[in-house]
Amino acid sequence: MFYLGFMNLEDAKRLADKLCRRYCSEVVELVRGMPFYIVKMCEEINLGKEPIEALEYLLSDPNGDLNIYFQALYDKLSPPEKYILHLIARGISRFSKISERVTFDASIYLKRLLLSDIIKKIKKGPREVYYEIQDPVFKTWLALQEVPSLGRLSIKSLIVSSLSFEAMIREMFRETTVAIEIKDFLGRRVIIPPAKVIKYSKDTIDIDALLIYDDKAIVVECHFWGSAKEDKIYQLLKCTRYVEENLGLEVADRILISYYGFEDKTTELARRHNIKLLAAPQLRDIQKKTGKNWGF
């Protein structure tokens, strides 16, 4: 298996627009910029399936093209490599945690998977090493497989954790290992430090990405379909109050990320509340400064 990377989201959207009668944005968000996946998703949608229904069929049905494709790749791996990938797909990605779950030398098989470009290595500190599966769609397929002692995850939970735009953003922040400084949509200075990154949900609070470092936090709200409206600012302010009042963290910054930009009123409100704004150009700037590519 060789990982070729993804088209950027704008090019992927143009491809989906040519192939799909509807749901172009949903297709791109679910399978990102891999042309083969976009083609297959659009084929199923044009037959009348909804986006999630199409993806589940492609990944789970014996006749699903992506299921057949990933099964062929999977069958070429050794049993230890397969088990390690299942662990990583279920969030057991730190080297020490992987080693605890296996009875063999995990480092040997992790090296093989790295050389095959199936996984990537993320070093957050001298003793803090993580591994991530390069292709989030393959990762989703792995997590959908029933494995003794590990079970399987649902497609809906995997979309939120692995395939949504907010999942892309969490992936980007998790893989940031040095402090990055950029200018936001309005030209203001933004510093993104290495941090622990989680999705936080409780009751009416849903934080797309919470970056935690040195008893401080950066609260992040994400938006993908079109220009972000004012309600995203109000959601971010609500989440900020919750973090300060209930999690005991000092909120160092608030960031609204909208790939396709912002409505004018959203921009004005963000300026008033000192909320930083990131759109596609700023995400590409982060990619450039880190030397990595998340498909923006």
| Tens digit of each residue's pLDDT (9 = 90 or more) over 212-221 | 999 999 999 9
Q: Which of 45, 72, 99 is the last residue of a domain?
A: 72
H-only helix segments in the chain: 9-19, 24-31, 35-46, 51-60, 65-75, 79-89, 95-101, 106-115, 136-144, 155-158, 165-174, 231-246, 264-272, 280-290
Q: Are residues 238 and 189 in the same domain?
A: yes
Q: Are residues 151 and 195 in the same domain?
A: no
Q: Which of 20, 45, 72 is the last residue of a domain?
A: 72
pLDDT classification of 122: cutoffs 50, 70, 90: very high
| Tens digit of each residue's pLDDT (9 = 90 or more) over 150-203 | 888 888 888 888 899 999 999 999 999 899 999 999 999 999 999 999 999 998
Quote the CA–CA distance of 20 and 270 in Å, as a whole number.
35
Q: Are residues 179 and 239 in the same domain?
A: yes
Compute how many other C-beta atoms are within 10 angstroms of the C-beta atom of residue 5.
Answer: 13
Q: Is the pLDDT of residue 3 over 60?
A: no
CA nearest to 64, candidates 118, 141, 12, 134: 141
Q: Which of 23-27, 126-130, 221-225, 236-240 has the lowest mean pLDDT?
A: 126-130
Q: Are residues 176 and 284 in the same domain?
A: yes
Quote the CA–CA distance of 153 and 141 in Å, as a whole number.
10
**Count of structural domains within the chain:** 3
Q: Are residues 38 and 65 in the same domain?
A: yes
Q: Is the pLDDT of residue 1 over 60?
A: no
Quote the CA–CA distance of 148 and 60 in Å, as a whole number.
18
Residue 109 has a pLDDT of 97
Which residue range is the domain that position 82 belongs to? 77-163
In a domain, 179, yes or no: yes
What CATH number corresponds to the domain at position 196?
Answer: 3.40.1350
Hey, CA dihedral for 126, 133, 112, 6, is it positive or negative? negative
What CATH number corresponds to the domain at position 81?
Answer: 1.10.10.10
CB contact at 8 A, 37 and 66:
yes
In a domain, 1, yes or no: no
Instruction: Report the alpha-carbon angle 280-66-86, nearest 5.
Output: 85
pLDDT classification of 2: cutoffs 50, 70, 90: very low
In a domain, 4, yes or no: no
Q: Are residues 183 and 282 in the same domain?
A: yes
Q: Are residues 181 and 236 in the same domain?
A: yes
CA nearest to 207, candidates 256, 158, 273, 163: 256
The residues facing 212 across adjacent strands are 196, 217
Q: Which two tokens stand for residue 145?
A: 């497989």
Q: Which of 72, 88, 116 is the last residue of a domain?
A: 72
Q: What is the mean pLDDT of the chain?
A: 93
Q: Are residues 264 and 180 in the same domain?
A: yes
Q: Are residues 201 and 217 in the same domain?
A: yes
pLDDT classification of 4: cutoffs 50, 70, 90: low
Region 113-121: what's the mean pLDDT?
Answer: 94
CA nearest to 221, candidates 199, 204, 241: 199
In a domain, 217, yes or no: yes
Q: Are residues 45 and 116 in the same domain?
A: no
Q: Are residues 56 and 96 in the same domain?
A: no
CA nearest to 27, candidates 134, 165, 144: 165
In a domain, 295, yes or no: no
Q: Which two tokens stand for residue 222?
A: 């994400």
pTM (two decimals): 0.89
CB contact at 8 A, 141 and 66:
yes
Residue 21 has a pLDDT of 81
| Cα separation values, 57 from 80, 145, 155, Å | 28, 13, 10
Q: Are residues 27 and 117 in the same domain?
A: no
